[in-house]
Amino acid sequence: MRTVLVAAAVTAVGVAGIALVALVPSNRPEFTVPDHFPTLDAAEVAPAPAGEPAVATFGSGCFWCTEAFFQQMKGVTRVVSGYSGGTVPNPTYEQVCGGRTGHAEVVHIEFDPKAISYPELLEVFWRSHDPTTLNRQGNDVGTQYRSAVFYHSERQKQLAEAYKAKIDAAGVYRAPLVTEITPFTAFYPATDDHQNFYRSNPDQGYCRVMIGPKLQKLRKVFGDRVTAE
């Protein structure tokens, strides 16, 4: 499980890589990007109405990982790590990790809809984590790691629900998706040391062992839809 202790190890000077590698469980499951993934076709995607928000908020486990995935996508203009879906305003990282706030770790994404669509962002979201495990991603366990879409409009809600149903119908995963699809209410950015985490710490233990390999697999899957390294 990624804990506050892990976060402290990452930011420690000199011993971060060694300390963190020791904290990564050796029995972590191998990440597999699903093949033959369904997409929403043109008939299933109504044109965006005037004023449709060009923002998205997703929770898919550790936001250090999720941020890195979306930062590589062409058309994504900004990704901010933080918290949504809870009851405590302006929560701290320690509070959220303790499961006392109801918040999920999320990324708040701004994007250019002429370069990448909301359904394409949903595809990245669902292919970059395991949406069948309730309140868990790998060895990270707790409601803060739940799979969640926080929609900003009725259109986003309809697209997310339609896509979720299509994935289940296609039998992509061995179990049904448990992703919650709920209205966006508030977003609280994490502190600066959690922003641009992978880009700022590519050689740290957690980034090297957990994020880097997953990122390379996703880059192969999405091909020319990702930015140059």
For every residue of 5-58, DSSP letters joined together read HHHHHHHSTTTHHHHHHHHS-TTPPPP-PPSS-----GGGSPPPPTT---EEEE
* CA-wise closest residue to 219 among 28, 81, 62, 33: 33
| List 62, 65, 97, 207, catalytic entry | 62
Q: Which residues are within 8 A (CB) of 169 and not within 5 positions of it... i.e. 6 or more apart?
A: none
Q: Is 97 a catalytic residue?
A: no
CB 147 within 8 A of CB 178: yes
Which residues are paired to 84 by β-bridges?
104
**What positions carry a catalytic annotation?**
62
